[in-house]
Structure 1
Amino acid sequence: MTLSAGLLLLFLFFLLLLIGVPIAISIAGASILTMLILFPFDVAVFTSAQKLVSGLDSFSLLAIPFFILSGIIMNNGGIAIRLINLAKIISGRMPGSLAHTNVVGNALFGSISGSAVAAAAAIGGVMSPLQEKEGYDRTYSTAVNVASAPTGLLIPPSGLLIVYSLVSGGTSVAALFIAGYLPGILWAIATMIVAYVIAKKKNYPVSAKISFSEKIKVFLDAIPSLLLIVIVIGGIIAGIFTATEGSAIAVIYSFILSLCYRSLKLKDIPRILVETVEMTAIIMLLVAASSILSIVMSFTGIPEAITSGILSLTDNPIVILLLMNIILLFIGTFMDITPAVLIFTPIFFPIVSSFGMDPVHFGIMMCLNLCIGSITPPVGSALFVGASVGKVKIEQVTKPLLPFYGAIIVVLLAVTYIPEISLFLPNLLDL
């Protein structure tokens, strides 16, 4: 009975997705219908309602709306142009200098805003016209912008890592935050290497030399924006406040900073709050729906069945992690990152725990993998936004993205099979 119910759960879920039902409703609908088969009507309804509420009863989840609000304030607060000016200095004078500025700008802005879509829109919106003016091919500049947009999802503060912490049973948020730095930086470097090779081949120009005094001025101008990361992450690591308290501090700091820059008006606040509520509601509904799914999966034995199936094929951790990466790369092409983390963490986590993989290492591997889905067709959100900002069609930018995909997958494999990339900084800081 439980096996057939598990198959029904999967069938209903994918059927609802195929006919265009929103993913949160698909998860909740398939789960509740399966519960009605497994249990009497009153028990199924009561249990489903209880899990909807208890799934959101977590102090850690409060960090998500605050980080979203902080990111939206930053998006509207004149931060992007200051970080772009800083990125010009960091990226240096190489062939295709503006493309490298785009990559560094996405890493900086994405880490502050916590959104690949926001980075692709804000940084790409400024850089694409500049690159076109300098003679860059529009598909190349768009590919660079899209390929580097998700780096900020790994570099903290990251709401995605908070979701993983919750669903994995309380993995340290501080350790996950610090663990995301090196993989995120490696992703950016890999993108820059590909951008450099292409720029060198196409003989794209080098940016004008910037004087030392101008560099100092740009750096000082960007310090207040960068201090957000220092204050929030530093405070979390030092134990001064929790990730949730840090997210509230991020809101206050970003609000005051935006007012100081005079780029945020008080009349914008209602619109910003509404946008925050809308984005938070989407994530929270996914978390609540996934709470029902988790209990249904435990009753039907789906995680155990998948675990047994994978372990029956091989008990070699190298092969198992390769299979997981292939599955997650496929899932990421049609499912958003947050629901994928909510659904597949309970399935894969017991498997990696069985051969002693560190939960922080697995979390970074999984999130990095699924971030790739945000820049791949057919449903990559950052891909669509980047193409729109770059004024190119999806099919035009897909081919230029291929070498970037290759470089990013190399980074994924390195993060998967070299635990020290993820664990070096957390171990260094004794997290």
Structure 2
Amino acid sequence: MDIIFNYMDEALFAAICLFGFFFAFLISGVPISVGIAVSSILTALFFLPADTAYFVATQKMFAGMDSFTLLAIPFFILSGNLMNKGGIAIRLVNLSKLISGRLPGSLAHTNVIANMLFGSISGSGIAAAAAVGGTMAPLQKKEGYDPAFSAAVNIASAPCGILIPPSGPLILFSLVSGGTSISALFIGGYGPGILMGLSIMIVAYIIASRKNYPIVPTPSCSEAARIVLDALPSLLMVVVVIGGIVAGVFTATEGAAVAAVYSFLLSLVYRMATWRNYLEVLRTTAVMSASILFLIAASGIMSYVMAITSIPDVIAESLMQFDSPIVIFIIMNLCLLLIGTFMDLTPAVLIFTPIFLPIATDLGMHPVHFGLMMIFNLGIGNMTPPVGAVLFVGCSVGGVSIEQVFKPLLPFFFALIIALMMVTYIPAISTGLPRLFGLL
């Protein structure tokens, strides 16, 4: 070991071991959470006695999950699953048709707006892609839309839901970052989330105008009133939950529980779900929650190993060699975009927040600003192969292959990159609303 360290700095050797083991497990098909835990323990064995390494690993796994804030994640997952089964999507689609008005390619804009609304309620891009995309695909096909274009619009806009609150990834970032205000993250998420949706709508408008896609007929005043009243109970959940959190009536965790109860009562009112659906919702919620919580537990070991080997400090020193913050943020964005193409959002937040956040704060970026930039980045990764969950779900419900949707998706991808640069270099997009509400 002494010979090795004569040629290699300890932190660099630790980074090579840690990420080398991790990517080897990832390529071999080992579950990400297991890969994180085992690669961290193997790396720790180079620096600690075996009994100490195993004891600390166990301790860090339990400490990583010992948080009241984490209870918000299963509650929001339960709420989203209940919304998905409770007949919410069709009501939001009808409202979105009303909002999109007389724009060329009205159904494409309807898809984007519906994904923003449903995503803000369910907190899941995958749920939005499945529920809204499954509703919109047949309607768009009937009106003569290219199925690949329809699927691309759905895939590109579904990640809006992870930025517009309530959002599980933002809660996760708050936890990993050491307690960044969830209220500030939630309110701040509206700016980047709406910008993401608008950038997709601009591209959809240009393409729809060129292809002369039809415009949805304008409903009568009575129909419009009925549509708004029908969707209002669903939208009120966001008002109740976000309003309650921001006003200090309840915490984010308590707000998540309120959202779950509200979603359940709403599904009973709409009478769209059966008891078999409710059992399936509970099963799905338990599996998803267990998966995320085990990831969090495993990342506790990795964070400890990175801390004792000073990996974040070495990366920070390497990046700080560049004099320009503009260049450093471009490098960070490129890294996160690359990471998002082969790693799911949850493990990426857990692994790379401790690495990049100190660098960003040293350069004067507020943690809320960095968190929203990071989630925006990784949201784009959800729509890119090889592991983009939203991409696969969107192709499935749209009835197209990845090869067919890849070309129509490119204009939306470039528009989102421009929007990402705006979020990165215009702090007010992320921090303006939280400052207005006195949260920063």
Check conservation: 1:62, 1:244, Cα contact below 8 A.
yes
Equivalent of 1:47, from 20, 44, 56? Answer: 56
Task: After TM superposition, give the deviation of residue 315 of structure 1 in Å.
Answer: 2.8
Task: After TM superposition, give the deviation of residue 268 of structure 1 in Å.
Answer: 2.6
| Rounded Cα–Cα distance in structure 1 between residues aligned with 2:77 and 2:309 | 35
1:205-216 equivalences under 5 Å are 205-216=214-225
Paired letter, 1:129 = P
Paired letter, 1:63 = A
Unpaired runs of at least 5, structure 1 = none
Task: After TM superposition, give the deviation of residue 5 of structure 1 in Å.
Answer: 2.9
| 1:38 maps to 2:47 | yes
Counterpart residue number, 1:156: 165
Check conservation: 1:259, 1:265, Cα contact below 8 A.
no
**SS of aligned partner of 1:38:** coil
| Rounded Cα–Cα distance in structure 2 between residues aligned with 1:94 and 1:357 | 38
Equivalent of 1:402, from 407, 410, 427? Answer: 410
Paired letter, 1:41 = A
Check conservation: 1:71, 1:112, Cα contact below 8 A.
yes
Counterpart residue number, 2:286: 277
Deviation track 1:5-36 (CA, whole Å, cap 9, x = no partner) reads 33211211111111111111111010011112
| 1:318 maps to 2:326 | yes
Paired letter, 2:304 = I
Deviation track 1:261-287 (CA, whole Å, cap 9, x = no partner) reads 111223332221111010001111111
| Rounded Cα–Cα distance in structure 2 between residues aligned with 1:315 and 1:348 | 17
Paired letter, 1:329 = L
Check conservation: 1:165, 1:172, Cα contact below 8 A.
yes
Counterpart residue number, 1:392: 400
Task: After TM superposition, give the deviation of residue 317 of structure 1 in Å.
Answer: 1.2
Unpaired runs of at least 5, structure 2 = none
**SS of aligned partner of 1:100:** helix
1:255-404 equivalences under 5 Å are 255-312=264-321, 314-404=322-412
Paired letter, 1:242 = T
Tell me whether 241-250 or 267-276 shows the greater mean CA deviation: 267-276
| Rounded Cα–Cα distance in structure 2 between residues aligned with 1:275 and 1:355 | 41
Deviation track 1:309-334 (CA, whole Å, cap 9, x = no partner) reads 1112x132111111100110011000
TM-score by length of 2: 0.97
| Rounded Cα–Cα distance in structure 2 between residues aligned with 1:345 and 1:178 | 20
**SS of aligned partner of 1:207:** coil
**SS of aligned partner of 1:308:** helix
Equivalent of 2:433, from 405, 411, 425? Answer: 425
Counterpart residue number, 2:143: 134
1:82-101 equivalences under 5 Å are 82-101=91-110
Task: After TM superposition, give the deviation of residue 376 of structure 1 in Å.
Answer: 0.7
**SS of aligned partner of 1:343:** helix
Paired letter, 2:379 = C
Tell me whether 211-220 or 224-233 shows the greater mean CA deviation: 211-220
Paired letter, 1:94 = L
Paired letter, 1:181 = Y
Task: After TM superposition, give the deviation of residue 228 of structure 1 in Å.
Answer: 0.4
Counterpart residue number, 1:73: 82
Question: Identity, % of aligned pairs?
Answer: 61
Check conservation: 2:14, 2:311, Cα contact below 8 A.
no
| Rounded Cα–Cα distance in structure 2 between residues aligned with 1:189 and 1:371 | 15
**SS of aligned partner of 1:149:** helix
Check conservation: 2:383, 2:390, Cα contact below 8 A.
yes
Paired letter, 1:357 = M
RMSD across aligned positions (CA): 0.9
1:164-203 equivalences under 5 Å are 164-203=173-212
| 1:24 maps to 2:33 | yes
| Rounded Cα–Cα distance in structure 2 between residues aligned with 1:268 and 1:140 | 32
**SS of aligned partner of 2:45:** helix
**SS of aligned partner of 1:426:** helix
Deviation track 1:206-233 (CA, whole Å, cap 9, x = no partner) reads 1112111111110011110000000000
**SS of aligned partner of 1:94:** coil
| Rounded Cα–Cα distance in structure 1 between residues aligned with 2:329 and 2:430 | 15
TM-score by length of 1: 0.99
Counterpart residue number, 2:249: 240
**SS of aligned partner of 1:55:** helix
Equivalent of 1:102, from 88, 107, 111? Answer: 111
What is the count of residue pairs matched by the alignment? 430
Equivalent of 1:8, from 14, 17, 22? Answer: 17
